[in-house]
Amino acid sequence: MTTIESLGQEAIALLFASIVLVILLLGGLLWIGWWVTRTRGSLSLYTGQPMMLGVDIPHSLGRQVEEFVKSLPQPENQPFDYMKAAVCRQTGRLFPNAVKHGELIHLNWNFLNERCKGNWISWGSLTGAQQGIIRLCHASLAHFQTEKSCPKAAPKDIEPYYVMMRPGPLYIDIEKNILLGWQNVPGTNFEVLVVQKPLYESIDETL
In a domain, 44, yes or no: no
Return the CA Rg of the chain. Answer: 25
In a domain, 19, yes or no: yes
Assess whether 77 and 32 both reside in one domain. no
Assess whether 95 and 17 both reside in one domain. no
Assess whether 132 and 173 both reside in one domain. yes
In a domain, 46, yes or no: no
Q: What is the pTM of this model?
A: 0.79
Average pLDDT value for residue range 108-131: 96
Confidence band, pLDDT 50/70/90 cuts, at residue 100: confident
For residues 158 and 95, what is the distance between their CA atoms, to the nearest angstrom?
Answer: 17
Assess whether 90 and 121 both reside in one domain. yes
DSSP-H helix ranges across the chain:
2-39, 59-71, 111-115, 128-137, 160-163
Q: Is 124 helix (H, G, I), strand (E, B) or coil?
A: helix
Domain range enclosing 21: 1-39
Residue range 146-174, pLDDT digits in tens: 999 999 999 999 999 999 999 999 999 99
Residue range 11-41, pLDDT digits in tens: 676 766 667 666 666 654 444 444 444 457 8
Assess whether 75 and 130 both reside in one domain. yes
Assess whether 34 and 112 both reside in one domain. no
DSSP for 15-54, written as a single string: HHHHHHHHHHHHHHHHHHHHHHHHH-BSBPTTT-SB-EEG
In a domain, 22, yes or no: yes
For residues 160 and 154, what is the distance between their CA atoms, to the nearest angstrom?
Answer: 14
Residue 139, Ramachandran bin (φ over 0: left; ψ between -120 and 50: alpha; else beta): alpha
Assess whether 64 and 120 both reside in one domain. yes
Assess whether 97 and 60 both reside in one domain. yes
Q: What angle do CA 115, 65, 158 make, to 5 degrees?
A: 45
Assess whether 78 and 135 both reside in one domain. yes
Assess whether 23 and 60 both reside in one domain. no
**Number of domains comprising the chain:** 2
Strand order in the sheet with 120-122: 120-122, 170-173, 178-184, 191-196
Highest mean pLDDT among 16-20, 29-33, 82-86, 115-119 belongs to 115-119
Assess whether 30 and 93 both reside in one domain. no
In a domain, 122, yes or no: yes
Strand ranges (E), 54-188: 86-87, 94-95, 99-100, 104-105, 120-122, 170-173, 178-184
Assess whether 65 and 156 both reside in one domain. yes
In a domain, 45, yes or no: no
Identify whether the C-beta of residue 166 lies closer than 8 Å to the C-beta of residue 175.
Answer: no
In a domain, 178, yes or no: yes
In a domain, 47, yes or no: no
